[in-house]
Amino acid sequence: MTYTTESASNRFSNPFNSSTQFADAVPATTALFNSLSVDDQLAMLWYAYTEMGRSITPAAPGAARLQLAEGLLNQIKQMSHAEQLQVMRDLAAKRNTPVSRAYGILSNNTKLAFWYELSELMVQGFVVPMPPGYQPSRDVVKLLEAIKQLDFGQQITVLRNTVVNMGVDPLAD
C-alpha cells in the first residue's frame, strides 16, 4: 500500500479504525508528520520530547552514540537564537548547509538522540526556546494525540522515522 499525505490524513482522523490495521499506524503517522509545515514539524518534535518525554526519552540517549553529535550540538549552542532556529528549519527542510550535511551522516539512533538533546538544551535556555504563549496548530495536536495512542516501540519508530531523513546525506550524491 502506498502512503500519501492524503491517505495519511484520511487515516489520521482515527488511525485505529476497522479499515486500518494497527500496523498501519506507524507509516500513516509518519506520513502525516511529513505533511506538516517545517515549523509544525519542529513544534511536534518539541512537544513529543517535552510532553511525552517521560515515556520516550529513556530510549533515545541510551540507544545512540551521542558523542558523535556533541560537536554539532556545541556548535549550535554557540549560535544566536535566530541562527539556531534557522539551523533547525534547515534540518527539517533538508536544505544543503554545513550543519545539515554534518547531521546527515549521523546514525538513525544518533539523530533521534540529537533531537532529544536539542530539546533539553531548549529547556535549559542554551538553544532558542519555543515562543512564549505558543499554541500548536490543530494538526500538531492531532498528531501528538495519535502518537500517544501508539505503544512505546511504535512511538520510538515514528520519532526515528521523522528525524532520519532530515538534514542532507552528503554521501548520497
**pLDDT of res. 76:** 97
pLDDT (tens digit per residue) in 55-86: 554 454 554 467 778 999 999 999 999 999 99
Domains for the chain: give ranges and CATH numbers: 35-167 (1.10.2090.10)
pTM: 0.80
Between the CA atoms of 55, 52, 76 and 88, what dihedral angle is there, to the nearest 10 degrees?
130
| Confidence (pLDDT) at 4 | 45
CA distance 82 to 84: 5
Q: Looking at residue 68, what is its pLDDT?
A: 77
CA distance readout (Å), 101 to 4, 42, 73: 27, 18, 14
Closest among 52, 88, 91 to 169, alpha carbons compared: 91
Sign of CA dihedral 154, 63, 94, 145: positive
In the chain, which stretches have pLDDT less than 50?
Answer: 1-21, 57-58, 60, 63-64
How many helices and strands in the chain, by DSSP H and E?
11, 0
